[in-house]
Structure 1
């Protein structure tokens, strides 16, 4: 299990599916709000908003919920003003962790994140203290059924992507963060809506964890993921399948 997968292989460890769905929707609505305020409230003319709406659609958020969020964001007395904040630190075993948040109270969020690190064997660092261990990449994922390997590679190269990894599980196209929107749009025009499209932090190297360190790190990541202000968490760890099986048992 690699850190850049964002823990989807261990999400079954957490109960309360409805609560997780509610948190996911709340995060998506925050992103829609910030995106709508950063440009025009029309997804066709606002690439960030289009990406946020696409993510909401992929999460099965009702269309009327998305529309209400956009209208509320740009309406009179639009409500909370969210700031984008990034936190960086080291978890157990020296695992590098990046947290992206949208918050209406920087002091509260910083205190919560700092407390999570302190209680679970880590330490919050300064901005850019660990980001040099990651690359900022645009990532577009399609199911294997949309195209064969050669067709996807050709389309990705024409779109300006840097790399394509294809296999039975699908196609993963990566590009520079600055090229994300045009690459995504070119691929969408050819193959339709992707399964996932986002800009993420991809670790250059990973730290392999034993059972004890993995358990400590996963507790930290769970706490961070459960914070309402946190949008995304990335970490440069790898957990062997045998260790993951013990932790999930």
Structure 2
């Protein structure tokens, strides 16, 4: 984990999720279908769909899979998904936000509550932890996008609010309402991003010791494994030293 930014740490170990390609593609497909249903299947006219498609491309989702997800929205599919947000507390005083798309609210609520209770956490009420986060636009580029100066200049010209660069790449932040426009402008100067999404960025983070970190990551894995869960955000910070110990177990 050396060299990883604090936010990438907060987003959980991407490698763990990347190994679950089938599960990941299923979640991406669901978001694309929902976005296409809510607006138009034209990515140029539907900002949410464009963001979903760009994220899918960044995760190397095949073009055929992306098109099938869009086609599903226009084929009169009877599935209707509801957007839900759950908030709770994890080990070590951590705060967790879970975003889900589900066709069965009771099933998802039970699964999320069970994951929290089995892994040292407690599901809270709506708004119980969200006040400690900012809702922002998040754009990620790999190191091949260019130097820090090049990406910084492009981001500032596009209207981004902040940028952080490491050896692993570049993280660009925007106001939530500006995400579509900024990402579109950056695509013209830097190419397609690895990830484009609305994010919950914590105002403050809490450091996790090895014991709490291990339990917390098992909680996040359990949530990630649920088909209805789209994204898990947290305010935790795990040091490189602790992460290396956990990865070695």
- Structure 1 segment 26-41 matched on structure 2, within 5 A: 26-41=26-41
Q: Distance in 1 between matches of 2:83 and 2:65?
A: 22
Residue of 7, 12, 21 corresponding to 1:7: 12
Native 8 Å contact 1:4 1:203 kept in 2 = no
Native 8 Å contact 1:208 1:239 kept in 2 = yes
- Structure 1 segment 14-53 matched on structure 2, within 5 A: 17=19, 20-53=20-53
Instruction: Compute the RMSD of aligned alpha carbons.
Output: 1.9
Look up the match of 1:73: 73
Q: Distance in 1 between matches of 2:244 and 2:152?
A: 35
How much has 1:215 moved relative to structure 2?
A: 1.6
Look up the match of 1:99: 98
Look up the match of 2:203: 204
Look up the match of 1:220: 219
Aligned residues: 243
Counterpart of 2:163 in 1: which secondary structure? strand
- Structure 1 segment 144-183 matched on structure 2, within 5 A: 144-183=143-182
How much has 1:3 moved relative to structure 2?
A: 6.3
Deviations 1:193-249 (A, max 9, x none): 112221111111111111211121111111111111000001111122222222222
How much has 1:117 moved relative to structure 2?
A: 1.0
Distance 1:128 1:183, change over 3 A: same
With 58-67 and 98-107 compared, the bigger mean Cα shift is at 58-67
How much has 1:82 moved relative to structure 2?
A: 0.5
Counterpart of 2:44 in 1: which secondary structure? helix
Distance 1:9 1:192, change over 3 A: closer
Look up the match of 1:235: 234
Q: Distance in 2 between matches of 1:228 and 1:168?
A: 32
Q: Distance in 1 between matches of 2:15 and 2:58?
A: 20
Distance 1:170 1:101, change over 3 A: same
Counterpart of 2:80 in 1: which secondary structure? coil
- TM-score for the superposition, normalised by structure 2: 0.90
Q: Distance in 2 between matches of 1:96 and 1:237?
A: 7
Counterpart of 1:45 in 2: which secondary structure? coil
Native 8 Å contact 2:59 2:194 kept in 1 = no
Counterpart of 2:107 in 1: which secondary structure? helix
Distance 1:213 1:168, change over 3 A: closer
Q: Distance in 2 between matches of 1:226 and 1:86?
A: 16
Counterpart of 1:44 in 2: which secondary structure? coil
Counterpart of 1:205 in 2: which secondary structure? coil
* Structure 1 portions without partners, runs of 5+: none
How much has 1:102 moved relative to structure 2?
A: 0.3
* Structure 2 portions without partners, runs of 5+: none
